[in-house]
Amino acid sequence: MTALDEPQRQQLRTRLAQRQAELLRELGQFQRDRLDIAAQEAGHEVIDQAEVAERREREDVGEAEASRDHDELVAVRAALARMDDGSYGECIDCGVDIGFARLSAQPAAARCLPCQEKAERR
Ligand SMILES: [Zn+2]
């Protein structure tokens, strides 16, 4: 596999920066939702049990989504940091060039496919 050329690198950097902005927006929205729920609960003396259960469920779903978004944000930020230090596009485990096709599908990918599969089995 060949190293990225400059236009490919630029394209991936733009996509990573956009994704980072999107994730930050989603996580910010999630924070606001939580504050809204807390404010609503504080204003209610009596909340019926069904409503409480439904709200908890919604919070759990939000929690799982926020946790996924957060993990992705960490990966996107790490990829942008690798862009800056010049190691972006190389597998963090074995050092081979990951290749544009894989990075294009997954700009935050830190490993080549064989190393990724190994890492997931661990
Ligand atoms: Zn590798």
Give 48-91 pLDDT, tens digit per residue. 788 888 888 888 888 888 999 999 999 999 999 999 999 999 99
Nearest to 109 by CA among 85, 63, 83: 83
pLDDT of residue 60: 84
Ligand 1 center from residue 90 Cα (angstroms): 8
Domains of the chain: 6-121 (1.20.120.910)
Of all residues in the chain, what percent carry a pLDDT higher than 90?
Answer: 66
Ligand 1 center from residue 120 Cα (angstroms): 13
pLDDT of residue 63: 86
Task: Judge contact between 112 and 102, C-beta under 8 A.
Answer: yes
Ligand 1 center from residue 58 Cα (angstroms): 39
Task: Judge contact between 103 and 89, C-beta under 8 A.
Answer: yes
Ligand 1 center from residue 17 Cα (angstroms): 24
Q: For the segment 84-121, what is each residue's pLDDT rounded down to a tens digit? A: 999 999 999 999 999 999 999 999 999 999 999 999 99
Query: Between 3 and 68, whose confidence is greater?
Result: 68
pLDDT of residue 42: 78
Cα–Cα dist 30/15, whole Å: 22
Ligand 1 center from residue 88 Cα (angstroms): 13
Max Cα distance, the chain (Å): 64
Q: Determine phi and psi for 18, rounding to 5 degrees.
A: -65, -45
Res. 46: pLDDT tops 80: no
Res. 2: pLDDT tops 70: no
